[in-house]
Amino acid sequence: MTAHFLFARFHSPDQRAAVDWLRSAHDIVADHTGVRAPQNDGPLTGPVLAWRLVSDNQREIARGCRLYPHERAALTDIGLLLKSQSEFEVRAATAARVRSTGWFVTRGEELVMMSARRYENRSAARKAGALALRLVGELAAAGGDSTRDIAELMS
């Protein structure tokens, strides 16, 4: 299976879909001690975007955990993600109010990636997270060292 990055675009950070996107990240931080959300460089206004990891059959595998003001910022963050893939840890994302399990990835204590869907148990969630990391590793091995290379991996 191969994958690529795609952008999800929102009219503003207050758009309902953008708020829902970030709610998942905020829930992970709230439910798991020691995990912190990624920091934005400043307040976001106007159009924003987020990245997602998508399989060749267009199934969403993973999502980024923050919003970006423009593509260049997102590409820079994706480049960092590709370079630091060996530092990641996959964890099950259980939530008291939801009867299913997701997964998330941290680099140290920082949340960097999360599942796009929920799974029936922790084992299935962790396996899905491991698959996402394997796919990110394959993308890194394919040569995503520069912003231009990353943009080519996205097409």
The predicted model gives 107-112 an average pLDDT of 92
67, 10 contact by CB (below 8 A): yes
The model's pLDDT over 19-41, given as tens digits with 9 standing for 90+, comes to: 999 998 998 998 888 999 887 76
Name the amino acid, one letter, at 89.
Answer: E
The model's pLDDT over 38-73, given as tens digits with 9 standing for 90+, comes to: 877 678 889 999 999 998 888 899 999 999 999 999
The predicted model gives 4-28 an average pLDDT of 93
Local structure of residue 108 (DSSP, 8 states): T
